[in-house]
Chain A
């Protein structure tokens, strides 16, 4: 029996481990696998940190792959181990642990899934105690702790992560203000009408908002408290008190290691449709750190799609191509349903269909170009989100049922054979291979 190929995964997160799972399904015995993870935890569902913060789930509940899983698949797992160097010529990975221990591993294939890092705006005072980002279990635990001991929180950034953080902190008893630079919340996921409904709903839960507001500085306390943040000051001179400032102003692909390896990085590690880095075909990259056709995805669905394609290539049965993803969004705040996908803002050349039900707090917008659905923004009733998402991805004409489109798949009259659900698309064919 020939010696197994060696696969090293840098980054023990959702994208990388999902790729391993896909690979193990196809080729369970092809590789000897080594995983380096910087966090001291096995792979967990980062998406569910918000419910943990909100007190709706526990850390144990969000673990995706317990240590036994790694063991059962013969995966060598190094937790709390930072990869410091990769020798591409020698195909060797070098990592260090917090206590200075050095670990080395050789690879035939290397998979980089280092994810992203929070973007910290260059604000005066960002180094103060009580100023944190929201990325991992440690951050979550820090917030839970702060909520126990402090009163006022400011979340900078009214995106998905910021709103989830704000909701969690509010539920943990803090008085929370969300500061958002753009004219409306979730400006990359919602149109202004939906955002207005969302803001109203969150306000009714006790959250405060400073929308379309630029932060100028984080102010320190005085005397003994001089090292901790005390307040946030805005461009207009006004201030709100803050014992805790959560930076949720966006993420950046974590490409530091890849750049040190000489891999081409441009808004992420540049990969081909087979998720191989364009610089070194032995090296793959998936997830938030990878830039495919110029896009680094920050949501989970594309990462899983990437993982599937990547796994087939690692398994050497690779026929599939990753051609990019349409992304859809959900906010994980209990009781708030929103969904958006595609070009939901519309604009020149697009046509909107809009439904509004102020009694149920429902707003839905569908955006069409010609006869195709290209975007959807749903607030309050997202039951048909996945159907719309499918229609958007399938690029299929909706002319025949345009008038029923808004009322969901269930409202459709019997369509001619091979209705929308039955039509397979290029993307699905490719992925199924």
Chain B
């Protein structure tokens, strides 16, 4: 076995991993005990990474060779790399020749490595001569970037993870870190355990698991963050909690902000935010450490601030609080933006956005442009800002782009206003998709698919939220013909250089990197990047790959001559602005871009699930990561449900001015009446369905809106006005099938076209890899109007037949029931005799291998228990087909899974708590001792604490 140190490819915490492999195959993963981000810990997602690189996944889901199609809608044909790159170079050269460099757009990803990013940025801005290069970081961090730059002068999170343990007040705004940054949240929990008087203030529109742990929870109305921060700032000034001396010495602009603050007081802010005045005042006092002289306040914030039409203002208004109280530049203090993606930071460092240049330089700054041009040996780099993510797709939809090159991201899932995005992908004459996966929602739009390496295969560096650069190393060779993203860019660039020799300005090539040795090639690129940082805020001229290998991950800045990176920025009160002072910005509260109305009365918010990541092209390969939240639902307050005449579990139709979505409703008091919440993961590749006019619905982002922050261009993914009505789809079906993993993955792909044919459809995995029998589950759920005519019933049966064929249901080994005219069909199938399922007691006969319920799904809950838990089912015989809500045997509905690592259900935990006594900690320890839940990755600890607290209340 070989061990390779690398990083986790999910969130921006940037945990170190040790990948175990046999040289050809990744066999295991564990947290790197020496990595300063996680010290050996991993979350549910990180600890299952190796399972996402199983042979079945590699063979079924990966893009393993270049493919192209001669015409849209046609089948993909494999072709060799040379042919693929020649094709791409010909098309792009021709496009640039006839339409100019700005007719091309590159859309990149915060999951690319710094070296990948560097090459594509240079390719576009240096060789092609356009700034139309943007990334999905635009959807994620650009408001944080703009917020830092407007106030502090540079895009640099000034804090470190160690500040979590040093803070006296932790102010968490717009972040459900318990789910989105689990390892960081573990550290925060540790901190409070070690320092019991650490206070948490959580600001969110939803009572999240992060909020569960708060000492003070401010459940504000959507989009009112600036009002809250201004209100708090008013209190801070009114109660003389500001550090006026520091402020006078180290900041500017407070006067113009005071003009605006005159219109604000705590009462007005509390009213706009929909919170109690006392809570707002309390938050301001705790923030300003009114009762703890010298106490440190740390802010943690994420998409709740960033994904907003006032995203930059929200960031700035929060940073104002730190500036007013001098809570910056010292241990335990500062505004700490939590990065969403593993290398959004690295992307920003190399200037991989349409308005940035290398090493935090600004496109708008002529000196910066000249510096970059000089570094690249070019007379100039283009001045005109490029198209940002949303603009790029709007331009393509308007016919203004002739070629789109998409790398490592899934815009047909993740961008807002999918109607426009999909029109863009259809209209743009040439779409290249470079990805590790063949299964994303964007793939069907591509003309050319280029296979890229991914986690466990890539070589380079990434930077995490605390400015820490880690090495990414390959544990196994690239599968199939996949190549590193940077190498694809370089090889393409070489070909394009031949076609655009005038753009070289006398140089042989702009990309003189070793393609034969990936380690060496990547290091060469990195060294070029390093040189670009000289003298900049992120100066890493003192860092080398040798140092990273020898001393481990390092924080920037680390200029030449330094032994180590800087833990904390701005300790000296000097800021990277022209006058060295941090800035207060004259900003005022602006409400959400699309307020609710009579027609669209519900405020839709989107967010993250604990065990999923982004568009799920990786996490979506594992059934076990669907144990926590098995299926898409829209969460609504019970009052909102009853006003709409909807019961829990009913399908509802949501509509925004841009599109629609059908989902089951789930009652939740975590959000306020009049609000809706849908996880951002549910895109058109898992969630199908048709709008009322018969158009396919592309998932949650069919509803969201493109309105963006004017400064950061980040779209307001966290608020759209929607309407809600019962979907009125009386005919419902569900199919659950165990299949060998590769077959299960293939079946899901094959089912995708069928999802768009129903009014509602969703297809997801379930299961618990690694399954002893190598099985993995496929769940398909769909709904339609009750068939009114025989023809409609026949059409539904035809659709069911196709589903069954793809799921291998309905062999001679199936028990079946069918009322054809009403399209009622029920079917159960047993596992084969020779199956290796973990079942010990076989007295009740074989467990189920699959089931299908169509037209009437009321027996689903107990059948699902039988199937998922692989319980003996054969003895129930034809009773399995009966349309009854409860089984004749004692089968409880399956309890939700809490602990993903040890597959512990809420029911089991509640039962165990019945035997636990003592205080909360003793009970939790008792639980962990008996069931092991929460003892591995710890992602479920917030839930466990809530259940413990409930048991204490009951006791």
Contact surface of A with B, Cβ cutoff 8 Å: 351-360, 362, 368, 381, 402-404, 406-407, 411
Q: How far is the CB of B634 from chain A (nearest CB, A)?
A: 28
Assess the B883–A403 pair: CB atoms within 8 A: yes
Q: How far is the CB of A168 from chain B (nearest CB, A)?
A: 31
Name 24 interchain pairs, CB-CB below 8 A, sorted by A.
A351-B819, A351-B822, A352-B818, A352-B820, A354-B818, A354-B820, A355-B878, A355-B881, A356-B814, A356-B816, A356-B817, A358-B812, A358-B813, A359-B874, A359-B877, A362-B878, A402-B819, A402-B822, A403-B856, A403-B883, A404-B883, A407-B878, A407-B881, A411-B882
Q: How far is the CA of A362 from the CA of B884 in the complex (A)?
A: 20
B815 contacts chain A at the CB level, 8 A cutoff: yes
Nearest residue (CB) in A for B874 is A359
Q: How far is the CA of A402 from the CA of B816 in the complex (A)?
A: 16
Assess the B877–A357 pair: CB atoms within 8 A: yes
B138 contacts chain A at the CB level, 8 A cutoff: no
B781 contacts chain A at the CB level, 8 A cutoff: no
Assess the A403–B824 pair: CB atoms within 8 A: yes
Nearest residue (CB) in A for B879 is A407
Q: How far is the CA of A359 from the CA of B882 in the complex (A)?
A: 16
Contact residues, B310-334 vs A (CB, 8 A): none
Contact surface of B with A, Cβ cutoff 8 Å: 812-822, 824, 830, 856, 874, 877-878, 881-884
- Contact (A403, B819) CB under 8 Å given A411-B882, A411-B884: yes
Kindly identify which residue among B813, B819, B830, B878 contacts A353, using a CB–CB cutoff of 8 Å.
B819
Q: How far is the CB of B801 from chain A (nearest CB, A)?
A: 15
Most buried by B among A351, A359, A404: A359
Q: How far is the CA of A207 from the CA of B821 in the complex (A)?
A: 38
Nearest residue (CB) in A for B845 is A359
CB-defined contacts of A403 to chain B, threshold 8 Å:
819, 824, 856, 883
CB-defined contacts of B813 to chain A, threshold 8 Å:
358
Nearest residue (CB) in A for B881 is A355
Assess the B882–A407 pair: CB atoms within 8 A: yes
Q: How far is the CA of A359 from the CA of B877 in the complex (A)?
A: 8
Assess the A360–B819 pair: CB atoms within 8 A: no
Assess the B815–A357 pair: CB atoms within 8 A: yes
Kindly identify which residue among B817, B820, B882 contacts A351, using a CB–CB cutoff of 8 Å.
B820
Q: How far is the CA of A352 from the CA of B884 in the complex (A)?
A: 21
- Contact (A381, B818) CB under 8 Å given A358-B812, A407-B883: no
Q: How far is the CB of A406 from chain B (nearest CB, A)?
A: 6
- Contact (A354, B812) CB under 8 Å given A381-B878, A407-B883, A411-B882: no
Nearest residue (CB) in A for B820 is A352
Assess the A359–B815 pair: CB atoms within 8 A: yes
CB-defined contacts of B856 to chain A, threshold 8 Å:
403
Secondary structure at the B interface, as helix, strand, loop or mixed, is mixed
Q: How far is the CB of A223 from chain B (nearest CB, A)?
A: 51
Q: How far is the CA of A411 from the CA of B858 in the complex (A)?
A: 14
CB-defined contacts of B881 to chain A, threshold 8 Å:
355, 357, 406-407
- Contact (A357, B818) CB under 8 Å given A403-B883, A407-B883: no
CB-defined contacts of B815 to chain A, threshold 8 Å:
355-359
CB-defined contacts of A359 to chain B, threshold 8 Å:
815, 830, 874, 877
5 other A-B residue contacts (CB within 8 Å) besides A353-B817, A407-B883: A352-B818, A353-B824, A357-B815, A357-B878, A358-B814
Q: How far is the CA of A351 from the CA of B824 in the complex (A)?
A: 12
Assess the A354–B877 pair: CB atoms within 8 A: no
Most buried by A among B819, B824, B830, B882: B819
Nearest residue (CB) in B for A365 is B818
CB-defined contacts of A402 to chain B, threshold 8 Å:
819, 822
CB-defined contacts of A353 to chain B, threshold 8 Å:
817-820, 824
Interface pairs A-B: 7 shortest CB-CB: A351-B821, A353-B819, A355-B817, A407-B882, A357-B815, A356-B816, A357-B878
Nearest residue (CB) in A for B825 is A354
Q: How far is the CB of B507 from chain A (nearest CB, A)?
A: 74
Assess the A360–B820 pair: CB atoms within 8 A: no
CB-defined contacts of A381 to chain B, threshold 8 Å:
878
Q: How far is the CB of B598 from chain A (nearest CB, A)?
A: 40
Q: How far is the CA of A403 from the CA of B884 in the complex (A)?
A: 10
CB-defined contacts of A406 to chain B, threshold 8 Å:
817, 819, 881
Assess the B816–A355 pair: CB atoms within 8 A: yes
CB-defined contacts of B830 to chain A, threshold 8 Å:
359
Nearest residue (CB) in A for B824 is A403
CB-defined contacts of B818 to chain A, threshold 8 Å:
352-355
CB-defined contacts of B822 to chain A, threshold 8 Å:
351, 402
Q: How far is the CA of A381 from the CA of B881 in the complex (A)?
A: 15
CB-defined contacts of B883 to chain A, threshold 8 Å:
403-404, 407
Assess the B817–A354 pair: CB atoms within 8 A: yes
Q: How far is the CB of B769 from chain A (nearest CB, A)?
A: 30
Q: How far is the CA of A402 from the CA of B812 in the complex (A)?
A: 26
Q: How far is the CB of A321 from chain B (nearest CB, A)?
A: 35
CB-defined contacts of A360 to chain B, threshold 8 Å:
877-878
Q: How far is the CA of A359 from the CA of B856 in the complex (A)?
A: 24
Q: How far is the CB of A391 from chain B (nearest CB, A)?
A: 16
CB-defined contacts of A357 to chain B, threshold 8 Å:
815, 877-878, 881
Nearest residue (CB) in B for A404 is B883
Q: How far is the CA of A404 from the CA of B820 in the complex (A)?
A: 15
Nearest residue (CB) in A for B888 is A411
CB-defined contacts of A355 to chain B, threshold 8 Å:
815-818, 878, 881
Q: How far is the CA of A358 from the CA of B811 in the complex (A)?
A: 10
CB-defined contacts of B821 to chain A, threshold 8 Å:
351-352, 368
CB-defined contacts of B819 to chain A, threshold 8 Å:
351-353, 402-403, 406
Most buried by A among B878, B881, B882: B878
Q: How far is the CA of A237 from the CA of B822 in the complex (A)?
A: 48
Q: How far is the CA of A131 from the CA of B815 in the complex (A)?
A: 44
Nearest residue (CB) in A for B883 is A403
Q: How far is the CA of A368 from the CA of B822 in the complex (A)?
A: 12
CB-defined contacts of B824 to chain A, threshold 8 Å:
353, 403
CB-defined contacts of B814 to chain A, threshold 8 Å:
356, 358
Nearest residue (CB) in B for A411 is B882
Q: How far is the CB of A193 from chain B (nearest CB, A)?
A: 12
Nearest residue (CB) in B for A366 is B819
Q: How far is the CA of A292 from the CA of B381 in the complex (A)?
A: 103
CB-defined contacts of A352 to chain B, threshold 8 Å:
818-821
Q: How far is the CA of A355 from the CA of B826 in the complex (A)?
A: 9
Q: How far is the CB of A277 from chain B (nearest CB, A)?
A: 44
Q: How far is the CB of B451 from chain A (nearest CB, A)?
A: 45
Q: How far is the CA of A76 from the CA of B270 in the complex (A)?
A: 109
Q: How far is the CA of A136 from the CA of B893 in the complex (A)?
A: 59
Q: How far is the CA of A145 from the CA of B820 in the complex (A)?
A: 51
Q: How far is the CA of A68 from the CA of B881 in the complex (A)?
A: 53
Q: How far is the CB of A200 from chain B (nearest CB, A)?
A: 12
Q: How far is the CA of A62 from the CA of B874 in the complex (A)?
A: 40
Q: How far is the CA of A381 from the CA of B815 in the complex (A)?
A: 14
Q: How far is the CA of A353 from the CA of B883 in the complex (A)?
A: 14
CB-defined contacts of B878 to chain A, threshold 8 Å:
355, 357, 360, 362, 381, 407
